[in-house]
Amino acid sequence: MKKFLTLIVIAMLPLTATAHGPSPQKLEKEVVIKADPAKVWAIVKDFGNMQKWHPLVASDKLEQKKDENGEAATFRTLTLKDGGTIYEKLGTINDADMKIKYYIVSGVLPVKDYNATMGVKAGPGAGETTVTWMARFYRKYSLNPPIPPGEDDESAAKAVTGVFDSGLANLKKVAEGK
Amino acid sequence: MKLHPLLIVALVLCSGFATASWAAGRAYITNQGSNNVSVIDTASNKVIATIEVGKAPVGIAVAVRLARVFISNVEGQSISVIDSKTNQVIDTLAVKGSPVGLALAPDGSVLYVADWFANQVLAINTGNLQEQKAITIGLAPAGLLVSRDGKRLYVANRDSNDIGVIDTANLTVIAHIAVGKHPYSMALSPNDATLYAVNVKSNNVSVIDTVSNQVTNTIKVGEHPYSAVVSTDGAHVYVTNTQSDDVSVIDATQQKVIATIPVGAYPEGIDFDDATQQVYVASWADNLVSVIDASSNKVTENIATGLQSRAFGQFILEAAY
């Protein structure tokens, strides 16, 4: 939590950003876990229980409702330990490939059009599992420069990096039963 | 006429060189993350050159007659001009705005540039890059497409949810066609009669009659579709779905999806190679190009490119004849 608060503070600082255009950013992080892939996948795919493994998340509330195109969809509200919330939509859960996709609808992260994939695969060593977390997102501010402080590319990348690093480190602990 | 032996040698060398250098088509793939362009030979499906360009390249337009390839560097705020014979950047044009989509007049005389932030399209004389005209259009213009007869320029206005139609003779906007949510790019049938607009946020494709400028049908595709291309014979439309990591194949007559092909993650740009009947799909998340055999609708190869491949626009330079 302290780490996350620090991130928010950093995100609020006025940064001298160069002119950025409408380019999506990519962030990809990996962790190797000493546990069975099926066990890790069961934790990762559990869309309604992120608080069980992510240290910044206090609670996770699932909801079934229609999306903006009128189709049935699954949403969750993550309430963070610092009080902020993130509202997300489930894309797909693919058990064969052990991949889950989801999107941020709204929330405290300074990002826009955020979508992410978490993938689980066996290896590299025997008894090991690799989890890959990949996100594609734009900075929060999508209009003409000048960009308001905290809404630029760097702020977006820092916030997502904080979520990924703390989450993967703790996922490893939880899955390894430590 | 009797030729000097040396002249004969020279002629043989020249013709040999010309054949060897131009046997197949070339796919020019912009790599946003590595600020370069991968050039793929569509006969061998090998990367034969990598060209450094500006920051965050996205859009592409190819001009066979000029032997030129134009690249939009959205964050570098410039256009790189590549000589396709040497695969070298021969000119870089600074653009004040944020260039995204590119398209060329069929004869290569005019380059059209979508300026995302300024809500305008630039028309640039390719013979004199300083000669430019600006046309005010909808919000956040992304993809551009010129009809094969050269008379119309279509603009996908992402944030105003419409397609702008420009008469290229006098550069006036003659229609705005309301489509789905966030149209990003378009494809045209070979006879220019049908325009397909890809709507990112409504997960569908609007089918437009280009005579009446009316939407005649809407076809549901995969998640977050981005780009489309029509086969040489006009029978099929291929659409990249960025968030379902696949390509929808639409039967143009039945106007429905007949196949869904898994490709590299986050597929963006797509183009059809007339010579080899292969479909090339740039994968942003996996840093590669998936090649689909149009006869089997199967991926036959994944070609490693640069970081975050986008290849937005018509990126295949067909073999010169």
The answer to whether B285 and B265 are in contact (CB under 8 A) is yes
Provide mean pLDDT across the span A72-93. Answer: 96
User: Which position has the higher pLDDT, A25 or B16?
Assistant: A25
- Angle between helix A153-175 and helix A37-44 axes, rounded to 10 deg: 130
Whether the CA torsion A45, A50, A52, A55 is positive or negative: it is: positive
Nearest to B74 among A23, A115, A143 (CB): A23
Checking if the pLDDT of A6 tops 50, the result is: no
Check pLDDT > 70 for residue B4. Answer: no
Residue appearing with tokens 């005019």:
B110
CA distance B61 to B223: 26
Confidence of residue B2 (pLDDT cuts 50, 70, 90): very low
Q: DSSP label at A52?
A: G
Mean pLDDT of B289-315: 98
Cis amide prior to A124 (ω within 30 degrees): yes
**Residues of chain B contacting A26 with CB distance shorter than 8 Å:** 33, 284-285, 308
Token digits of residue B107: 């004869």
Q: Is the separation of the CB atoms in B141 and B121 below 8 Å?
A: yes
Those residues whose C-beta lies under 8 Å from the C-beta of residue B190, and which sit 6 or more positions away, are B148, B230, B232, B233, B234
**Stretch B224-252: mean pLDDT, rounded?**
97
A161 SS3 class = helix
- B233 or B22, higher pLDDT: B233
| Residues in A touching B74 (Cβ below 8 Å) | 21-23
Are B266 and A136 within 8 A, CB to CB? Answer: yes
> How many Å apart are CA B173 and CA B121, to the nearest integer?
11
State the pTM of this model. Answer: 0.88
| Contact predicate A114/A102, CB 8 Å | no
Other CB atoms within a 10 A radius of the CB of residue B284 amount to 26
How crowded is the C-beta side of B87, counted as CA atoms within 13 Å?
19
Averaged confidence pLDDT in chain B: 92
Taking 90 as the threshold, does the pLDDT of residue B33 lie above it?
A: yes
Question: What are residue B69's phi and psi, to 5 degrees?
Answer: -125, 130
Rounded to whole angstroms, how far apart are CA atoms B228 and B235?
13
Q: Which residues of A touch B199 (CB under 8 A)?
A: none
B295 pLDDT tier (thresholds 50, 70, 90) = very high
Q: What is the mean pLDDT of residues A27-44?
A: 97
- Look at residue B168 and tell me whether its pLDDT is greater than 80: yes
* Of the partner residues B117, B284, B285, the one whose CB lies closest to the CB of residue A144: B117
Q: What is the pLDDT of residues A160-176, one digit of tens each?
A: 999 999 999 999 999 99
pLDDT value at position B24?
A: 75
pLDDT of residue B23: 57
Tokens 């061998």: give the residue.
Answer: B44
In sequence order, the 6+-apart residues with CB closer than 8 A to the CB of A1 are A55, A56, A81, A82
Task: Give the span between the Cα atoms of B287 and B266, in whole angstroms.
Answer: 10
pLDDT tens, residue by residue, A120-146: 999 999 999 999 999 999 998 877 778
Mean pLDDT score, B295-314? 98
Helix (H) or strand (E) holding A173: helix A153-175
Residues B81-125 pLDDT 10s: 999 999 999 999 999 888 999 999 999 999 999 998 889 999 999
* Whole-Å CA distances, A65 to A70, A74, A89, B224: 9, 6, 10, 19
Determine the pLDDT at residue A23.
Answer: 86
Residues from chain B that touch A19, judged by Cβ atoms under 8 A, are: 75, 77
Q: What is the largest CA-CA distance in chain A?
A: 51
Picking from A23, A101, A134, the nearest residue to B75 by CB comes out as A23
Provide the token pair at B82: 């590549």
Asked if B119 is an interface residue toward chain A (Cβ–Cβ < 8 A), one would say no
pLDDT at residue B320, as a whole number: 62
Burial of B16 (0-12, 13-18, 19+ CB in 10 A): exposed
Distance CA A132, CA A109 (A): 20
pLDDT tens for each residue of A60-73: 999 999 998 888 99
Q: Pick from A22, A103, A144: which is nearest to B74 by CB?
A: A22
Q: Which of B81, B39, B84, B75 is nearest to B57 (CA)?
A: B75
